[in-house]
Amino acid sequence: MALLLLPGGASGGASAEPSDLEEAAGVLAPFKRDLMQALQDGLAQGPVEAIGACQLRAPEIADERSRDGVRVGRTSHRLRNPENAAPDWVAPLLEAYVGNPADRAPRLVPLPGERAGYVEPIGVKPLCLTCHGETLAPAVAERITALYPDDRATGFAVGDLRGLFWLEFRPSR
């Protein structure tokens, strides 16, 4: 099983068909939507409150969306929450994207048991800077440090690679 396929490399013939990529993107979509909704609901209360909302809701949403043979998550080369460390099959992909930050193309790789893995790079948007930017409001910085003493997820600029969404699923065909 060729698990160490690098971005840009051939990824096993049929497994890289656009239809598979589209299916994967569709399975991932509700996870992304719920996360963005939770972030926006949190930010409506204020940035410091939103940190707590992310801390509470992000893992719950990943659990809620990891059902029926599907597993989803987020990871990064600069983690805030160490529990978001990349699964084994994601780690080499993450490394490759970090080594070639201009590459933002999603990737599909075969996994054992007729399953597939899908990754999608996450870019930093202006909205993200409140909690991941170079300069944080003191109250925001304080709350983040209190909750995540090992935080490495600040200092980003708009357009930077923030990390990856990842998905494990069983393609329908």
| Stretch of 8-16, 45-53, 63-71, 95-103 lying at the interface with ligand HEC (CB under 6 A) | 45-53
69 DSSP assignment: T
Q: Is 167 in the site for ligand HEC (CB under 6 A)?
A: no
- Total residues found in the chain within this entry: 173
What is the largest distance, in Å, between two alpha-carbon atoms of the chain? 51
Q: How far is the CB of 25 from ligand HEC (least distance, A)?
A: 17
For 157, half-sphere exposure in the C-beta direction (CA atoms, 13 angstrom radius) is: 0
Count residues contacting ligand HEC (CB under 6 A)? Answer: 27
Interface residue with ligand HEC among 89, 163, 166, 168 (CB under 6 A) is 163
**Interface region with ligand HEC, contact rule CB under 6 A, candidates 1-9, 14-22, 70-78, 109-117:** 70-78
Complex with ligand HEC: residue 16 or 98, whichever CB lies closer:
98
Distance linking the first and last C-alpha atoms of the chain: 19
Distance from C-alpha of 78 to C-alpha of 96, rounded to nearest angstrom: 14
Nearer to ligand HEC, 108 or 131 (CB): 131
Q: Does 84 bind ligand HEC (CB under 6 A)?
A: yes
**Please, which of residues 21-40 interact with ligand HEC by CB under 6 A?**
39
CA distance 111 to 55: 30
| Contact residue for ligand HEC among 80, 94, 109, 161 (CB under 6 A) | 80
Residue 40: partners with Cβ closer than 8 Å, 6 or more residues away: none
Instruction: State the DSSP H helix or E strand holding residue 152, giving kind and residue range, or none if neither.
Output: none
Say whether residue 128 binds ligand HEC (CB under 6 A): yes
